[in-house]
Amino acid sequence: MPQVDDFYKKLEKASASYKSARIIESGEGAYLTIDGNEVLNLCSSHYLGLAVNPRLVKAAADASQKYGIGTGYRTLAGNHKLHLELEDSLATFKNAEASIVLTGGYMANCAAIQTIVGKEDIVISDELNHASIIDAIRLSQVKNKLIYEHKNLSSLEEKLKEADNLRKTPNSDGEKPLILVVTDGVFSMDGDLAPLPQIVQLAKKYDVLTMVDDAHGEGVLGEGGRGVVDHFKLHGQIDIEVGTLSKAFSVIGGFITGKKLLIDYYKQKARQYLFSNALTISDTAALIEAVRILSESDELVKKLWENAKYLKVEFKNAGFDTGHSETPITPVMIGDEDKAREFSRMLFEEGVFATPIVFPMVAKGKARVRVIPSASHSRQDLNKGISAFVKIGKQLKLI
């Protein structure tokens, strides 16, 4: 068989089990319209309900009317004043010296690591870090990639000792290898937090750089949603903070905050910044308004946590296992992958949309339905979701 035909045969075989995601026919609010039916949205990461917030919609529309839509490369003819306003507002919001905005959180993680880590440097990474961190490390082509057990500080210190030993051999340019410890702030599948204070202590002890990916902490943790570093009162003690602008901020993009010297270096060297278009005018204007809303009031963050705590208590009282979550991310642990898919399908029949999380997103035997409440949910909405979970949980003999 010709090689090209064989290639497509392999694709056909791989695609046999593929199931496309459900198609959303409405805005991303407390409810979604799918297949013409309204269903309760319990699985999106629009934590604060800003995806349909009228202030963001107006900001995007007004800016588009004034400036149009497209921008371009920031380094050529696309460096709009709104981009600079957004970066300044994010730096202020995060209590950082400066920020750089990119087109996605994935891109931000890749830029954060690949730009400063060379082949002869050393990266130490939590075993459950997000795929974008894993790919960023691969992009750097670093030879010494050390993985420590999830949140295990003894394991981390073992890797730090190993890295410290490796550092004694200079790079080919005569410089000492750089050591970077990188972790998620909130682990997206379980909702648990990285032990950042202890990581910072170890980083200081071994004189290494630190990086946290706070994708699920922005707009959720800390005072007014300023993130996991604010939550632990560690301002100025984490070298690189990466955030996403598509979850709590409900638009698109990613950003990095840190010392101005570091951010300036990213703007000069990061390939993801230099060789990619900037955010559109409408996206940028909406994000500026989102940061403004969070800076004005913590009302939405408080409502999110009120809803999250209520949901967790009710699930626990019903007998569900929700793991070790410390955030609004609430995994309903099921174990068996087929049962998790069946649970999700039955929920949908009850008018509740919550997707199954199965291998390879989580380890085999760790399947779950991941529930994420938002500030846009009312108590009545949550009760509808809880009732459906309890009904199906009993039918499937999970509780």
Q: Any idea which residue has 């903070």 for tokens?
A: 241
Among 46, 130, 159, 216, the active-site one is 216
CA distance 258 to 98: 6
CA distance 42 to 374: 8
CA distance 137 to 181: 11
Which uninterrupted H or E stretch holds 299?
helix 299-318
> What is the largest distance, in Å, between two alpha-carbon atoms of the chain?
66
Half-sphere exposure (Cβ direction) of 215: Cα atoms closer than 13 Å: 25
Among 46, 159, 247, 303, the active-site one is 247
Q: How are strands ordered across the β-sheet holding 352-353?
A: 31-34, 37-41, 352-353
Q: Any idea which residue has 């004005």 for tokens?
A: 296
Identity (one letter) of the amino acid at 120?
E
- Are 85 and 281 within 8 A, CB to CB? no
Known catalytic residue at 247: yes
- Helix, strand, coil content of the chain in percent (nearest 5): 45, 15, 40
Q: Any idea which residue has 């371009």 for tokens?
A: 72
- Are 218 and 204 within 8 A, CB to CB? no
Among 89, 188, 344, 376, the active-site one is 188
Known catalytic residue at 125: no
Number of neighbours of residue 261 by Cβ within 10 angstroms? 9
C-alpha radius of gyration, the chain, whole number:
22
Among all residues, which ones are annotated catalytic?
188, 216, 247
